[in-house]
Structure 1
């Protein structure tokens, strides 16, 4: 329950950060585009069609969290998580970009394959356990209980 509340809070925070487009954010679209261009060598098309009122907030979250090396997880680990999740969704855009990013951050083909495989195994067991309607309290007790 605590984890689901944490995930819900994180989702709300992300949504709030991205959706809080003040007049200053709207005026800073060109500045944001310049930062994006400096970072990537151009402005990706999907960022050009992103709502102007939200682009500055989206960029701040992307730059200061997803791409940052000053967070609890390093950029390579975050990119590996991105590849693993994208493969399960599946999102070919995300798979391609997160794979490229992971490699730029030093991930090997073996690390990428392992991340995707771990995510696939989690999805497999989630499907089995949920589909068979395994009693959650029994399941927890079989693995030592606790929260």
Structure 2
């Protein structure tokens, strides 16, 4: 950890001993690892969005700085946070109104099919 981060962050010392090595491995391999399906930039933007959605100032700060290290511009960070807020907003509406999930899926599939048809027509 110290070799990769230059230090052992104090918050990592709060992990219970049976979980400390495992937790560091998850953090290292998923967040900082390069042998993953997502690029560092993509992972950082996901981190920013999730951190904003769960209202975690620690995660928001970390993932924002991580995103900046990956070359993410401030305008992209703002858009990422807005997308997270948009998802949380509509999730609240869907859950609060107990929207039928099967109907939602059917409508979404129809929308996707329509958009694909529009894109195919534009490509012709």
Using the size of structure 1 for normalisation, the TM-score is 0.69
Question: Is the CA contact 1:76–1:107 (under 8 Å) kept in the aligned structure 2?
Answer: yes
Note if 1:101 corresponds to 2:61: no
2:8 to 12, 30, 43: 43
Note if 1:64 corresponds to 2:29: yes
RMSD between aligned residues: 1.7
1:138 to 103, 107, 110: 103
Which residues in structure 2 correspond to 1:80-91 (within 5 Å)? 80-91=45-56
User: What is the rounded CA distance, in whole Å, between the counterparts of 1:54 and 1:139 in structure 2?
Assistant: 39
Matched with 2:79 is: 114
Note if 1:78 corresponds to 2:38: no
Unaligned runs of 5+ in 2: 113-124
Change (3 A) 1:53 1:135: closer
Shift in Å, 1:115: 1.3
Question: Is the CA contact 1:68–1:74 (under 8 Å) kept in the aligned structure 2?
Answer: no
User: What is the rounded CA distance, in whole Å, between the counterparts of 1:137 and 1:63 in structure 2?
Assistant: 38
Please give the secondary structure, in 1, of the residue aligned with 2:72.
coil
Unaligned runs of 5+ in 1: 1-35
Shift in Å, 1:143: 2.8
Corresponding residue pairs, total? 111
1:53 to 18, 38, 47: 18
